[in-house]
Amino acid sequence: MAINKKLLSLLFLLAAVLSSSAIAASFSDSDSDSDLINELVSLRSSSESGVIRLDDHGISKFLTSASTPRPYSMLVFFDATQLHSKSELRLQELRREFGIVSASFLANNNGSAGTKLFFTEIEFSKCQSSFQLFGVNALPHIRLVSPTIKNLRDESGQMDQSDFSRLAESMAEFVEQRTKLTVGPIQRPPLLSKGQISILISLIVIATPFVIKRILKGETLLHDRRLWLSGAIFIYFFSVAGTMHNIIRKMPMFLQDRNDPNKLVFFYQGSGMQLGAEGFAVGFLYTVVGLLLAFVTNVLVRVKNLNAQRLVMLLALFVSFWAVKKVVYLDNWKTGYGIHPYWPSSWR
């Protein structure tokens, strides 16, 4: 029994020592944690829109060597200056939006919630090893490193293409979903600063009397009918070509053929969608027939030379006929409708 008791007390002792050391460890942990947070906050306050620019050293300090669970999440934007020229990656635009999310987060979270998430960026040329650490080899890449993540190669925090498709709004949604923090309403900087606006207004005020004077005299560009005419025709062309569709849906001008990469596809079959070049081509066909007709009835009539008239007119007729035929053919091909007349049944 005695031995048993001794053993038991020894066990208790051991447990007490262990637990106290654990507590001490956690104390020291929280100390270093608050140090880290303070450092991050000070870094953040000195950086533009609250996005901290980290290097290899910073990554190791705040992420790899900080013990998990870290008291903060970190959203890392992977940037590469040398790829800024490639517009299809949209790196600069995304970086700007990233800054907006960060600034909005800062503006909307003043208290303790503000220290739970930090927005950082790392640049490829300066910290290649960090890129390797994260296992990032394609951009654009935005990664949320949540407090518990040990292995930075863990890609669970990666922001999908769909998450930054709607720019700052969807990024904020992603952050809110993953971190349970609220980013709050996105605060975009106004298009023009206040100084610019006041300058603009004063310019307008000064210019108005002169403009009104010109208008009263009737000698502005606005009085040029040709300008109005070309404007009207252009808007017509622009709309019937379905350009708004291309802009809203961000359609490319043409696609690459899947079977044969050297071949380009300009026309898309199926009426719900169209490609850019396709729209412009048909819009041009739509417009050119009317313009030729207008040319014949308004301009060609005044030409004195009969043969010139004849030649131009036949050419115009031929082009118009071809354009209409082409559009009818394309439409039938694209939509698959079989438009047919109805004859009396006795004629069959």
Partner 1 sequence: MAAPESQNLATPSALRNAFGSVLSVLILVLIGVLAFSIRLFSVIKYESVIHEFDPYFNYRVTQFLSKNGIYEFWNWFDDRTWYPLGRVIGGTVYPGLTLTAGTIWWVVNSLNIPLSVETVCVFTAPVFSAFASWATYLLTKEVKGSGAGLAAAALLAMVPSYISRSVAGSYDNEAVAIFALIFTFYLYIKTLNTGSLFYATLNALAYFYMVCSWGGYTFIINLIPMHVLMCIVTGRYSPRLYIAYAPFVVLGTLLAALVPVVGFNAVLTSEHFASFLVFIIIHVVALVYYIKGNLSPKMFKVAVTLVVSIGLVVCFIVVAVLVALVASSPTKGWSGRSLSLLDPTYASKYIPIIASVSEHQPPTWPSYFMDINVLAFLVPAGIVACFSPLSDASSFVILYIVMSVYFSGVMVRLMLVFAPAACIMSGIALSQAFDVFTGSIKYQLGGSSKSKDDAEDNTSTNNAPKDDASTGKTDKVEEIAKERSSKKGKKKEREPAEKPSIRSKIAKKKALVLPLEASIVALLLLIMLGAFYVIHCVWAAAEAYSAPSIVLTSQNRDGLHVFDDFRESYAWLSHNTDVDDKVASWWDYGYQTTAMANRTVIVDNNTWNNTHIATVGTAMSSPEKAAWEIFNSLDVKYVLVVFGGLIGYPSDDINKFLWMVRIGGGEFSHIKEADYLRDGQYRIDSEATPTMLNCLMYKLSYYRFVETDGKGYDRVRRTEIGKKNFKLTHFDEVFTSHHWMVRIYKLKPQKNRIRGRVKKLKSKTSSGSFTKTEKKNPWI
Of residues 152 through 181, those in contact with partner 1 by CB under 8 A are: 166, 169
**Token pair listed for 151:** 């292995």
Site for partner 1 (CB under 8 A): which residue of 73, 120, 146, 320? 320
Footprint (CB under 8 A) of partner 1, residues 88-117: none
Quickly list H helices, 109-252.
Answer: 128-134, 167-179, 194-217, 225-240, 243-249
- Per rule CB under 8 A, is residue 322 in the interface with partner 1? no
What percentage of the chain's residues is helix, strand, coil (to nearest 5)?
65, 10, 30
Range 185-224, binding partner 1 (CB under 8 A):
205, 208-209, 212, 215-216, 218, 222-223
In the complex, minimum distance from the CB of residue 199 to partner 1, in angstroms, rounded to a whole number: 17
Instruction: Say whether residue 236 binds partner 1 (CB under 8 A).
Output: yes
> 3, 71, 86, 1: which is closest to 40 by C-alpha?
71
Q: Does 225 bind partner 1 (CB under 8 A)?
A: yes
Site for partner 1 in 39-58 (CB under 8 A): none
Tell me if 271 contacts partner 1 by CB under 8 A. yes
| Contact status: 286 vs partner 1 (CB under 8 A) | yes
To which residue do tokens 């996105």 refer?
Answer: 186
Count of chain residues binding partner 1 (CB under 8 A)? 71
* Distance separating alpha carbons of residues 115 and 206, to the nearest angstrom: 49
User: Which residue's structure tokens are 């041009």?
Assistant: 284
d(CA 38, CA 32): 10
Q: Contact with partner 1 (CB under 8 A): which of 261, 262, 306, 347?
A: 306
24 touching partner 1, by CB under 8 A: no
> Any contact of residue 298 with partner 1 (CB under 8 A)?
yes
* Tokens 């049944």 belong to residue: 345
Total residues belonging to the chain: 348
Binding residue for partner 1 (CB under 8 A) from 43, 107, 113, 240?
A: 240
> Which residue of 294, 322, 326, 329 would you call a contact of partner 1, by CB under 8 A?
294
Distance linking the first and last C-alpha atoms of the chain:
116
